[in-house]
Amino acid sequence: MTETPQNKSDNSSLKTPKVSFREIIRSYGLKRAAVFPIVALVFIAIILTYHFLLYNYTKTSILEEGRLNAGQISQEVELYMSSGTDTLKRCAYSMEKMLADGRGHDEAGDKGPGGTHDKVLQYLTEETDVIQHSILPESTGVYACVHEEYHDGSGWDPGPDYVPMERPWYTEAVDDPGKIVLVNPYLDLYSGDIVMTLSKCLEDGKSVVALDITLGRIQEIIESHTPKYESTINMVVAGNGVVVANTISSERGKDYNDENGTLGHAILSELSTADSGGNFDFAFQNGSYTACAVPLSNGWYCISVTDSEIVYRPINLMMLLSIAASILTLAVFLMIMFYSGRREAASKHMQSLLISSADIYMSLCDLDVIDNSVTEIKNVNPAIAKACASVNHNMKEVFLSIMQGLPDSPTKQAAIDFTDLRTIDDRMIDTDTATIEYLSYGNIWVRARLIVSERTKDGKVSHVLWMLENITKEREERESLIDMSERAVAASEAKSAFLSNMSHEIRTPINAVLGMNEMILRECDDDNIVTYSNNIKSAGNSLLSLINDILDFSKIESGKMEIIPVDYDFVSLLNDLVNMIKMRVEAKGLELILDIDPEIPRSLYGDEVRVKQIITNILTNAAKYTDQGSVTLKISYDKRLKVNDCLILMVSVKDTGIGIKKEDLPKLFGEFERVDEKRNRNIEGTGLGMSITKNLLSMMGSSLNVESEYGKGSEFSFKIVQTVRKWDPIGDYKAAMLLFSSEKNKYVPKFTASLAHILVVDDTYVNLVVFKGLLTRTEVQIDTADNGRRAIEMASEKKYDIIFLDHMMPDKDGIETLHDIRSKAGSPNRDTPAVCLTANALSGAKEFYMEAGFNDYLTKPIDSQQLEEMIYNFLPKELIETVDNP
Ligand code: ADP
């Protein structure tokens, strides 16, 4: 594929986006989004309309039902009542005839046997019988008051107290002559039924005939009408409020006018509000009622009452359920819309991301591996766009042929293999991404990426995102960075090598200078020469410490500095420190104050060399930067913290010197940084000591604490953990030191061994002279060789007690020479202890020489005490003749 260098930085991110609701709405478009509330409103409107219609229908149905009930019942009651009225009319007529026939009889004739009264009674008795057995079985009989005398067709004897003219059936009839009067019904205690009386005043205006009817039939009429609604009650109420009949039979006989607070009473009270159709609504307690009242001809009412609340309850419930169901449906619908919207929005979002990232990529396409087609998301390059457009279900073939046409380069085959989508399933079985960089058309470096975006159920790759990025510039920058870092590494290695070599090269001549100088000091009696010689010693030591500092610094820089703990004698460490500083301090006329805790254990375990170096650095500085007064070395340990045989040594060096300004304190630990340089320019130093000290302390898990007052003095202190081997205390160090130093001033060899034979090999002649010179007083017999071959020869001829070999020698070096000596068959020195002489003071030297077969090693410049100590340790004890301070 051909590309143009249009890439920008690769900062695109194709994470699955989080899509907000707003984005979904945006993705749907406002019109589509408005569908949600419209659908909701339509839903609710439909439900409310439906409910409204249902409500109205039910209300109409209740009214109709009420009207129907009341109407039908009233008709039947009227019919029933008319049979009573007809019967009474007939009786009245007969009675009137009977009375008219008997007119002219006197009172006595009326009452005598066969008189009017007898006839009336007989008639009433017969009529009662006829009525009860044919017309009105519910009737209890006909009775009358004729000429103020009571006659009862049913044979009932009211007793002497009964005054018929005072009874309502008589009085009301007399008050309304010619008409049939309906006396208000009453509960007949005798029959337990409600009884209604119909009476009529006869033509004489004094006689009244009456008919009693029990109203059980009306109750039957009511009960024969089963209402449509369970909550419907039908009733017939008399004009006086007495319940003649009621769907609830227990209500019969109640006088609703007296039943305050009951539904019946409420019905009667609301009756007046009825419309022309007799309908009325009213509320009672928590219910609302719809009633229909039809008046009867006798002044009664036939009423049908329905508790509409109960009827509406299922409708209301249905409405609530419908609303709930529609809300639920709507919610489900919304959720589906939301999720599908989210997916749509996410895919749009992703698409826009991809399109914007196509600015970074030269080409961004969706490859349909199964359909073998390509969908271009964005192509910056017209050539790629054209190639994509030419694909017609032959994407794999098109892509392959494009790649096969790439110019020859070492990356061509890999690029072809990468783009071969026929093998994609095998290649991308465990991974979803693959990347390659190759040299493309027009000498452009391209990074191609494949990102699997979809797989089939059986794990086959179905869709892949294909990205091409021009990385020509990036590669140039990367290569230049690699080049730079390689050069930096090389420079650093060169620096280390240089330091190592310099160490060797400088230490070797210093070895000669200091060694020869030592000879002069030991052998010369001329005071002037001894003074010069002492100056050489001092300058030589300074030079040596300078080199040591530079070496340590380079070790720290390259991470090669190590903390190597060993068993050590704390008194010996103190001796070395005090010996080193004492002369310096005294030479400047300062007082050295030692404040050493006598309880410090003598036998400790730690990196003696580095502990000594740290304290030496601080002490040396104290001496250097103090012109008058004192330098105090205080060492103690924290008595509260003696855990697991460890102690915390507390070291402090206090001086009365120039002090350090507060603002200079941070500079103290900078490499090659010297504080107050103008004032200190005459004081020698590199500015490395404090930095090394700080680094060493940090390697031991500690830090340096500095307190200083400019012009008054400073105090440097630190704490380090050391392991205790034995808790034997060092005792009064100051007293021991005094004794020790008075004895130490003069050189006395550690031992004499005149029968011991030592071979020393070094290619530098002066070193051999120094070596021999340093051991003169031990009387040891020393043979020298200035090269390896000579040494091998000598060692094959003579048995030596110790062999000292220089490491760096031309031709055969020390290690090769040792191997030859040890491996030569029949050599008398196969087991002779061998010590390596080396100027290599870098870390790891000891391990290196021990591994090479040496028994120990000595660094140059050779320290005469160390040399004597080593020989003393390696020599067979029978060869030692005299020993100083064993
Ligand atoms: P240098 O080789 O210059 O002594 P160091 O790293 O040992 O380097 O010390 C850094 C600087 O800290 C010194 O140059 C000196 O100015 C200051 N310094 C160190 N110790 C003391 C001290 N005891 N009193 C005053 N200044 C000190």
> How sure is the predictor about 11, in pLDDT bands with cuts at 50, 70 and 90?
very low
CA 91 / ligand 1 centre spacing (Å) = 152
Identify the three-state secondary structure at position 357.
Answer: helix
CA 221 / ligand 1 centre spacing (Å) = 129
User: Measured from the CB, is residue 607 less than 6 Å from ligand 1?
Assistant: no
**Segment 769-815, tens digit of pLDDT:** 888 888 888 899 999 998 999 999 999 999 999 999 998 888 889 99
**Segment 83-95, tens digit of pLDDT:** 888 888 988 898 8
Which pLDDT does position 272 carry in this prediction? Answer: 82
Record the pTM. Answer: 0.42
Q: Rounded to an integer, what distance in angstroms lies between the CA atom of residue 769 and that of residue 520?
A: 13
Identify the three-state secondary structure at position 236.
Answer: strand
CA 40 / ligand 1 centre spacing (Å) = 85
Mutational pocket test of ligand 1: of 626, 663, 690, 717, the residue with most ligand atoms within 8 Å of the beta carbon: 690
Mutational pocket test of ligand 1: of 652, 668, 696, the residue with most ligand atoms within 8 Å of the beta carbon: 668
Which pLDDT does position 874 carry in this prediction? Answer: 92
Which pLDDT does position 2 carry in this prediction? Answer: 39
CA 729 / ligand 1 centre spacing (Å) = 33
Of the ranges 4-8, 171-175, 559-563, 881-885, which one carries the lowest mean pLDDT score? 4-8
Query: What single DSSP character describes residue 273?
Result: G
Provide the mean pLDDT of the chain. Answer: 83
Q: Rounded to an integer, what distance in angstroms lies between the CA atom of residue 585 and that of residue 583?
A: 6
CA 496 / ligand 1 centre spacing (Å) = 26
Which pLDDT does position 387 carry in this prediction? Answer: 84
**Segment 474-505, tens digit of pLDDT:** 889 988 998 888 888 888 777 767 776 776 67
Is the pLDDT reported for residue 651 higher than 80? yes
Mutational pocket test of ligand 1: of 614, 625, 695, the residue with most ligand atoms within 8 Å of the beta carbon: 625
Is the pLDDT reported for residue 9 higher than 50? no
Phi, psi (degrees; rounded to nearest 5) at 793: -60, -50
Q: For 101-113, what is the mean pLDDT?
A: 55
Q: For 22-26, what is the mean pLDDT?
A: 59
Ligand 1, atom nearest to 657 Cα:
24
CA 20 / ligand 1 centre spacing (Å) = 64
Q: Rounded to an integer, what distance in angstroms lies between the CA atom of residue 52 and that of residue 319?
A: 10
The rounded percent of the chain whose pLDDT value lies above 90 is: 24
3-class secondary structure per residue, 715-732 = EEEEEEEEEEEEEEECCC
Q: For residues 291-320, b (16+ Cβ closer than 10 Å) or e, as one string? A: bbbbbbebebbbbbbbbbbebbeebeeebe
User: Measured from the CB, is residue 655 less than 6 Å from ligand 1?
Assistant: yes
CA 285 / ligand 1 centre spacing (Å) = 104
> How sure is the predictor about 743, in pLDDT bands with cuts at 50, 70 and 90?
very low
Of the ranges 49-63, 327-341, 690-704, 718-732, which one carries the lowest mean pLDDT score? 327-341
Residue type, 17: P
Ligand 1, atom nearest to 685 Cα:
2
User: Measured from the CB, is residue 115 less than 6 Å from ligand 1?
Assistant: no
User: Measured from the CB, is residue 690 less than 6 Å from ligand 1?
Assistant: yes
User: Measured from the CB, is residue 657 less than 6 Å from ligand 1?
Assistant: yes
Tokens read off for 54: 């249902």
Q: Which residue has the higher pLDDT, 709 or 736?
A: 709
**Segment 614-638, tens digit of pLDDT:** 999 999 999 999 999 999 999 999 8
Cis amide bond preceding 17, omega within 30: no
Is the pLDDT reported for residue 849 higher than 70? yes
Is the pLDDT reported for residue 280 higher than 60? yes
Q: Is 671 exposed, middle or buried (0-12, 13-18, 19+ CB in 10 A)?
A: middle
Cβ neighbors of 341 (< 8 A, separation 6 or more) are: 24, 25, 27, 28
The rounded percent of the chain whose pLDDT value lies above 70 is: 88
CA 600 / ligand 1 centre spacing (Å) = 29
Is the pLDDT reported for residue 12 higher than 50? no
In DSSP terms, 775 is beta-bridged to none
> How sure is the predictor about 43, in pLDDT bands with cuts at 50, 70 and 90?
confident
